[in-house]
Amino acid sequence: MQTSPFLRIESLTAAYGATRVLDRVDLDVRRGELVALLGSSGCGKTTLLRSIAGFVTPESGRIHIGERDITALAPEHRGTAMMFQSYALWPHMSVAQNIGYGLRMRGWKKEAIAGRVGEMLTLLQLEGYGPRPVTQLSGGQRQRVALGRALAVSPEVLLLDEPMSNLDYKVRVELRHELRALQQRIGITAVYVTHDREEALALADRIAVLNAGRVEQYGTPEELFHQPASAFVAGFMGADNAIDVVPAANGGWQAANGASGGGSMRAYFRSEAAQLLGQSPAGPGALVLSGTVAQMLYVGHGYRYRIRLPASEVWVHAPERIDQGTPASVAVPQEALLLFPLHEQRAA
């Protein structure tokens, strides 16, 4: 994979009426890279994707693919192909006719279309499905057909707008791995919109976390997961606990319990990084929180507990069952704490 940008987005701003949806967004995607746009509803990720595709006209900024400035080009002249959340397949057409639709619109001859459609059917493991009506396919098969239609036109950049959100969990996980393997095998440059953190981590070379129309952080999955740049990113990447802390005498941290002072911070941590203290003592410098079990949920591989503290609540995983109302102490290793200034507000 080359390191220089292939798709470049420079200071892109877009609005719907008086509502600004994208605010001076900068982003670069290398050739052959899959970049995920991750964020909650309304953050601007789909608007950014549709701006690349040419379906949204930005107020300002530029979009380049290679050496071409595509900002003002019509969608069909950009060298992109979009795979939509709803698949957008023609219900009265067969699998082969749907895959070949874009080629027919480009004036390809029937023999060339048939050859290209055959390549797509083989690539997507849909051999023999060409004559079948798309209405007789499962959700996963329809997703493959929609992908085949997008790939058939040999786009320079493939754009995917939450293409797996309509599938059940098992199929979604299977197709996620298939899509990643296929993208790497054919080496296509792709931008993938999702609100699913797990999906972004599994699929992407790099992830852009969007918040209120801006890129909050852009980096590898490992960077975002272990080194979030803000409290927002920490929360969005699964640090589901937040508690105010102050420096402790042992060099670590202790719960502020409503008090504030020099060095006060907000600590984020994942529930699976904490442990309920039993016979084993807390490690050196660990944050120790004492409270009461307020809620217990069975999650298959153990239990998830909500622990009520004097000034807040936290969640923690544990393999053993503990009744509600039981006093409990939670230990969080110092290296698992993600610390941010108190003024940073978590909005994930």
What are the DSSP calls for 290-318, one per residue? EEEEEEEEE-SSSEEEEEEPSS-EEEEEE
- Element housing 125 (H / E): none
The pLDDT tens digits for 44-82 are 999 999 999 999 999 999 999 999 999 999 999 999 999
Tokens standing for residue 128: 């023999």
Report the pLDDT value the prediction gives residue 2, as an integer from 0 to 100.
57
User: What pLDDT, in 10s, does the model give residues 241-257?
Assistant: 999 999 888 788 889 87
The encoded tokens of residue 273 equal 């990084």
pLDDT level of residue 167 (50, 70, 90 thresholds): confident
Tokens of 91: 């219900």
| Domains of the chain: residue spans and CATH | 5-236 (3.40.50.300), 241-340 (2.40.50.140)
The helix or strand, by DSSP H or E, that contains position 18, with its residue range, turns out to be none
3-state secondary structure at position 159: strand
